[in-house]
């Protein structure tokens, strides 16, 4: 028997993306109320410090949890806003296909993988790695795998007017990914942004989406058999 799985199923409750958004905003509010020295200490305590990573793994499980806690800590409001925007754009779309618990797993795994790769490959070993960029990039990679023929709407400024156009998602995301690779190669010396985390997170999300997608078919078949 062949089971057709709808690419755009309607789920009664999509809780993963809203919960991630709420947690990111909640941590940011707490963090931004701190003084500058206290905020720096907060990022150092809850972010991933490459020089300490091996020592963290030799210690308690709480220390290793920084690979995940760092995803909810941001440097400033601009850093937070960018991640919130892309999370809303792509998180809800991916959650239309994957169940919420799989989206949460995808977010955390991509973020942790991006943090590990950044910690070992970046030259700065003492500064903390914080932010959800790697995890959000993973959702972008998953979106590209799930919706390769989708279109994304963008607004182009044309003089005094704005024109709304639809562009293939593969084109926009492909250009975005090439920029991340370019910044990874040339921008590490002039920017504090861990561009490498974007690249690694995107690749991890694309691959993990392929691994997780068969669960949709097994779940659909299980419902039919029961």
Give 57-82 as a DSSP string.
HHS-HHHHTHHHHGGG--SSHHHHHH
Question: Tokens 């309607």 label which residue?
Answer: 10
Which tokens belong to 55?
């020592």
Nearest to 5 by CA among 92, 98, 95, 93: 98
Q: How many residues does the chain have?
A: 226
Question: Looking at residues 40-60, what average pLDDT do you find?
Answer: 76
Q: How far apart are CA 131 and CA 127, in angstroms?
A: 13
- Write out the DSSP string of 99-114: -HHHHHHHHHHHHHHH
Rounded to 5 degrees, what are φ and ψ at 129?
Answer: -95, 120
Element (H, E) at 157: strand 151-158
Question: Looking at residues 133-141, what average pLDDT do you find?
Answer: 96
The model's pTM is 0.85
Q: Residue 163: beta bridge partners?
A: 156
Q: How far apart are CA 116 and CA 9, in angstroms?
A: 34
Q: How far apart are CA 9 and CA 173, in angstroms?
A: 23
What number of other Cβ atoms are within 10 A of residue 85's Cβ?
11
pLDDT tens digits, one per residue of 51-86: 877 665 555 555 578 899 999 999 989 999 999 999
pLDDT tens digits, one per residue of 179-214: 999 988 886 544 556 788 999 999 999 999 999 888
Percent helix, strand, coil in the chain, to 5, is 65, 10, 25
């Amino acid at each position: 028997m062949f089971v057709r799985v709808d690419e755009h199923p309607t789920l009664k409750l999509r809780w993963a993306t809203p919960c991630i958004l709420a947690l990111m905003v909640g941590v940011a509010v707490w963090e931004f109320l701190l003084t500058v020295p206290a905020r720096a200490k907060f990022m150092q305590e809850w972010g991933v410090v490459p020089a300490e990573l091996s020592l963290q793994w030799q210690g308690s499980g709480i220390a290793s949890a920084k690979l995940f806690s760092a995803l909810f800590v941001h440097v400033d409001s601009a850093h937070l806003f960018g991640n919130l925007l892309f999370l809303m754009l792509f998180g809800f779309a991916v959650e239309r296909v994957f169940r919420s618990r799989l989206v949460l797993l995808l977010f955390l795994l991509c973020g942790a993988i991006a943090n590990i790769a950044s910690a070992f490959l970046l030259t700065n070993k003492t500064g903390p790695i914080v932010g959800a960029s790697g995890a959000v990039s993973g959702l972008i990679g998953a979106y590209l795998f799930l919706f390769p023929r989708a279109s994304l709407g963008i607004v182009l400024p044309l003089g005094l007017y704005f024109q709304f156009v639809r562009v293939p998602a593969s084109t926009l995301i492909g250009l975005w990914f090439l920029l991340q690779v370019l910044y990874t190669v040339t921008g590490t010396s002039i920017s504090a942004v861990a561009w490498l985390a974007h690249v690694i997170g995107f690749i991890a999300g694309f691959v993990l989406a392929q691994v997780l997608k068969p669960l949709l078919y097994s779940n659909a078949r299980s419902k039919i058999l029961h």
